[in-house]
Amino acid sequence: MAGRTGSTGRSTPTTGRNRQPSLAQLRAFAAVAEHLHFRDAAAAIGTSQPALSGALSALEETLGVRLVERTTRKVLLSPAGERLAARTRAVLDAMGELLEEAAAVRAPFTGTLRLGVIPTVAPYLLPAVLRLAHDAYPELDLQVHEEQTASLLDGLAAGRLDLLLIAVPLGVPQVTELPLFDEDFVLVAPRGHELGGREGIPREVLRGLDLLLLDEGHCLRDQALDVCRDAGREEGPVSMTAAGLPTLVQLVAGGLGVTLLPRTAVAVETARDGRLVTGGFAAPAPSRRIALAMRTGAARSAEYAALARALRTSLAELPVRLLDDPE
């Protein structure tokens, strides 16, 4: 029977309102909504165009609404499709979270771990992190994303990233920090500078030096400015900035000023140029703390805590002060 007649005498279509759409149908619609092209959408989810079209048609029949407008040249979302696309993506995301949690309970240190790392840590700690993952967790698919702090925190909150290797404290709600180590800052100056090779340098010398820093957005810049404020340096313009530590130390080597480097970066960055010298600060030296950061209550929180413990052991050869397990 094609339909039924109500009190108005009009025939209303019979739909699959008593049925529910399948995940395959929702994935097909989400892919079409994102790509607005059947071939690209089919490729994105690893299916054929006929299968994609069939799944989309079945979803339209189940929901009783037309989701797309097909033409010979392009695909457009209908008004209903526009409204339901976001809901579809939310359902798929929720299902992904369910599967991730189930996988975490089933087998620790397997599946995908999306690790975000700040640029002033990545080149110096990643060798130890990757070696640990390769040797201790061979079934873990570790994916590394190097970004600045604000972007990493956004990615963690949105679920794009699972875990961060970052400088703390963050002071961000719903983020749990697993401290790894503290490391001192080292003064880096051009060869021939009066502070080169010295130890026990008082922080107060920073008041009168031409200081070179990273661009805004890098947490290391903010940490260096905090050190300068603690030393009594007046707020004022920085003589020059750089996008990364390699460029920063080249500016120092060229005689344009001095900078502060975390101790884990010193061996790598100063070895590239013999025109650089270093100096150590008097105790207690200015320092920063590096930690793993995760969403509070994350499904894999016990796994991340175990990873933090293993990392502390793996980093024992670095010039840092390892921290005790907070538990």
Q: Scan for tokens 């300068």, then name that residue.
A: 228
At 326 the pLDDT is 65
What is the sign of the dihedral through the CA atoms of 138, 139, 145 and 148?
Answer: negative
Lowest mean pLDDT across 58-72, 112-126, 164-178? 58-72
How many Cα atoms sit within 13 Å of 190 on the Cβ side? 13
User: Which tokens hold the place of 180?
Assistant: 């790894």
At 256 the pLDDT is 86
149-169 mean pLDDT: 93
H or E element that contains 154: helix 149-158
Q: What percent of the chain has pLDDT over 90?
A: 48
Query: Is residue 285 pLDDT above 50, yes or no?
Result: yes
Would the CATH topology of 19-104 be identical to that of 182-287?
no
132-150 mean pLDDT: 93
- What's the chain's length in residues? 327
Largest pairwise CA distance in the chain: 97
Q: Which of 73, 72, 75 is nearest to 52 (CA)?
A: 75
| Residue 54 burial by Cβ neighbours in a 10 Å radius (0-12, 13-18, 19+) | middle
Q: Which of 180, 168, 108 is nearest to 137 (CA)?
A: 108
The dihedral region occupied by 214, where left means phi > 0, alpha psi between -120 and 50, and beta the remainder, is: beta
CATH of domain 182-287: 3.40.190.10
H or E element that contains 47: none
User: Which tokens hold the place of 124?
Assistant: 């110096």
At 100 the pLDDT is 78
Predicted structure pTM score: 0.65
The C-alpha atoms of residue 266 and residue 234 are separated, in whole angstroms, by: 27
The ranges assigned to domains in the chain are 19-104, 117-179+292-322, 182-287
> What DSSP designation does 194 have?
T
CATH architecture of the domain formed by 117-179+292-322: 3-Layer(aba) Sandwich (3.40)
Q: Scan for tokens 């805004």, then name that residue.
A: 216
Per-residue pLDDT band for 105 (boundaries 50, 70, 90) equals low
Q: Which of 167, 109, 162, 157 is nearest to 135 (CA)?
A: 109
Other Cβ atoms within 10 Å of 81 Cβ, number: 21
Per-residue pLDDT band for 179 (boundaries 50, 70, 90) equals very high
> What does the DSSP assignment read for 255-313?
TS-BEEEEHHHHHHHHTT-TTEEEE-BPSSPPEEEEEEEEETT-TTHHHHHHHHHHHHH
Q: Which of 320, 285, 261, 259 is nearest to 202 (CA)?
A: 285
Query: Is residue 294 pLDDT above 80, yes or no?
Result: yes
User: Which tokens hold the place of 96?
Assistant: 């992904």
Q: Which fold has domain 19-104?
A: Arc Repressor Mutant, subunit A (1.10.10)
The C-alpha atoms of residue 240 and residue 231 are separated, in whole angstroms, by: 20
